[in-house]
Structures are given as C-alpha cells and as structure tokens.
Amino acid sequence: MSTKIPRVTLVGAGPGDVDLLTIKGAKALAAADLVLYDALINPALLDFVPADKPRIFVGKRSGKHEYPQEEINALIVKYALEYGHVVRLKGGDPFVFGRGYEEIQFAAQHGVATAVIPGISSAVAVPAAQNIPLTSRGVSESFWVITGATKYGQISSDIALAAQSSATVVILMGMKNLADITRVFQVLGKNTTPVAIIQNGTLPNERLVCGTIDTICQLAQEQNFTSPAIIVIGGVVDLRFDSTRKQEILQHVIHSPKPDANQ
C-alpha cells in the first residue's frame, strides 16, 4: 500500500479536441500517480501524464469487454489505496451523463478524498464548434440536454416534454433511437423543425448533417452517421453558417467602400 494519502480527482476531458481540456485538468493529469480513462477521451490527453505513471483503460469499446460501473468504482478505491493520487478521466463533463457523482460518492464512502475538475460538455461545445448557438434572441430562450437512451435502452420521457416547448433540444447518445426521437416530434406536428447531427464533434474527423424532423433519419442513414454524435433540434440549427461563408462576409465588410463622412 502506498504511503501517499489516497485521493481521486475526477477530471472532465472535454468534447474531444485536446486543446479544450482545461488548464486545471492538465495540471491534475501531470500530478497523477495513476490514471483511469474512458473510451471516448482523446488518447493524446494521456501525454499530460508522467511517462512512468500507469494509465489504465476502463471504458467500453464495441465488441470488447465492458467494465461494469460497480467494478470501476472498486478500482478507483483499490488504486487510490495502492498508488495515492488517482485521476479518473472522463469525456465531456463527468457530471453530465457521466456517472461521475456515483464514482466520487463511492470513493468518499471508502475513506478516499475526492475532488472534481469540470470539463467542457459536448452538449454545448459541439454545437458551438459548428456555429450553432443553443440560445438566440427571438429564436430560443432556453435549451434541454437529454439522454437519448435510458439505462433500459429506451428514449427518455423528458423528450416528449421538451418537444412541446420552443426550446432547443440537445440529445446525447441518441443515434440508436433516432427514429423514435423524431416520431415524438412528428406526433406534435413539428415535422419541419430543423435538426443537426454532429458526429465526432471538435475532432479532425468531425461530420455534420442537417435536415428536418421528417428527413434526418434518411439523411443520417444515407451518410452512415453513427455514435458518438450529438443531435440538436430546433430553429437555432438554421442560424448556422459555415466558416467559408463567414470568411466571404468578412471579406465583403473589409473591402466594402467606406461611407464618406462629409456626406
């Protein structure tokens, strides 16, 4: 057993882009005695960890072993007692559908000191990186962030509540239930509501498809969109304009004749 004080720091890795890790998160990784990391974190983040410190994968990959949450909880405590400072690195923000609270609660119950370093949630960062605001005056006054699959694999009943509002709806982990999600909006007559799906948000292989409630399923299937992806539903999707168009507008402003002050 380590002579160091056992402690765990829960670090949010952000949405994917290495540069979107917080400075405080990077400092925690540099001070780690051992790191437990998930499948959705960018592997390049492990470069912040000292070369002689263990990095242990405890996430899930398709077709490979999945660590049950109870086993992850136990590993956090085990390694904290053995090594000292354990950093638990989780994608996005660990308190947004990340089960981070369960992990620090379990650690605290077993005498392990805990700390939390928030991460930039993909729910807000990924749409922003595609120039999609979640709120905009006159279009959307609020937004919902909802899981696309409950622990039983079904869509959340909150989606039906959100669909009745004028708010932007952001759905995480919803690709497998995309047809069921769109059906909820269709029942309410919101067939033409804009929808964006962003796959691998903030990463070099990021992909975007835009459509409506009626068309998005077919578009996503034709273009082979899969998880991990964020679904954004609402009028704010139509506010998006790509970076090329943004440069065209900027150049137009720069080179437009300036008004004559004497006129």
CATH number at residue 210: 3.30.950.10
Residues 116 and 22 in one domain: yes
Residue 251 counted as domain residue: no
* Choice among 17, 33, 38, 93 that is catalytic: 38
Which of 120, 135, 167 is a domain's end point? Answer: 120
Which of 67, 88, 120 is a domain's end point? Answer: 120
Residues 54 and 146 in one domain: no
Here the tokens at position 176 are 């497998």
pLDDT tens by residue, the chain, 263 residues: 567 899 999 999 999 999 999 999 999 999 999 999 999 899 999 999 999 999 999 986 544 556 899 999 999 999 999 999 999 999 999 999 999 999 999 999 999 999 999 999 999 999 999 999 999 999 999 999 999 988 888 899 999 999 999 999 999 999 999 999 999 999 999 999 999 999 999 999 999 999 999 999 999 999 999 999 999 999 999 999 654 455 544 455 555 555 555 54
Known catalytic residue at 176? no
Residue 72 counted as domain residue: yes
Residue 61 counted as domain residue: yes
Residues 127 and 235 in one domain: yes
Other Cβ atoms less than 10 A from the Cβ of 182: the count is: 25
Residues 141 and 84 in one domain: no
Residue 43 counted as domain residue: yes
Known catalytic residue at 175? no
pLDDT value, residue 152: 82
The pTM of the full predicted model, rounded to 2 decimals, is 0.87
Residues 53 and 97 in one domain: yes
Residues 28 and 81 in one domain: yes
Residues 16 and 58 in one domain: yes
Known catalytic residue at 38? yes
pLDDT value, residue 150: 86
Give bridge partners of residue 209 from the DSSP assignment.
Answer: 197
Query: Do residues 231 and 155 lie in contact, with contact meaning Cβ atoms separated by under 8 Å?
Result: no
Residues 101 and 153 in one domain: no
Residues 162 and 216 in one domain: yes
* Choice among 60, 238, 242, 246 that is catalytic: 60
pLDDT value, residue 242: 56
27 φ/ψ angles, rounded to the nearest 5 degrees: -65, -40
Residues 195 and 215 in one domain: yes
Residue 192 counted as domain residue: yes
pLDDT value, residue 61: 54
Residues 36 and 55 in one domain: yes
Which of 71, 105, 120 is a domain's end point? Answer: 120
Residue 21 counted as domain residue: yes
> Per the omega criterion (within 30 degrees of 0), is the bond before 228 cis?
yes
Cα 11 to Cα 34: distance, rounded to the nearest angstrom: 13
| Number of domains observed in the structure of the chain | 2
Domain that holds residue 231: 123-243
CATH number at residue 101: 3.40.1010.10
Residue 11 counted as domain residue: yes
* Choice among 158, 173, 180, 190 that is catalytic: 173
Residues 104 and 152 in one domain: no
* Cα 151 to Cα 123, 155, 167, 173, distances in angstroms: 19, 9, 25, 11
Cα 156 to Cα 33: distance, rounded to the nearest angstrom: 38
pLDDT value, residue 249: 47
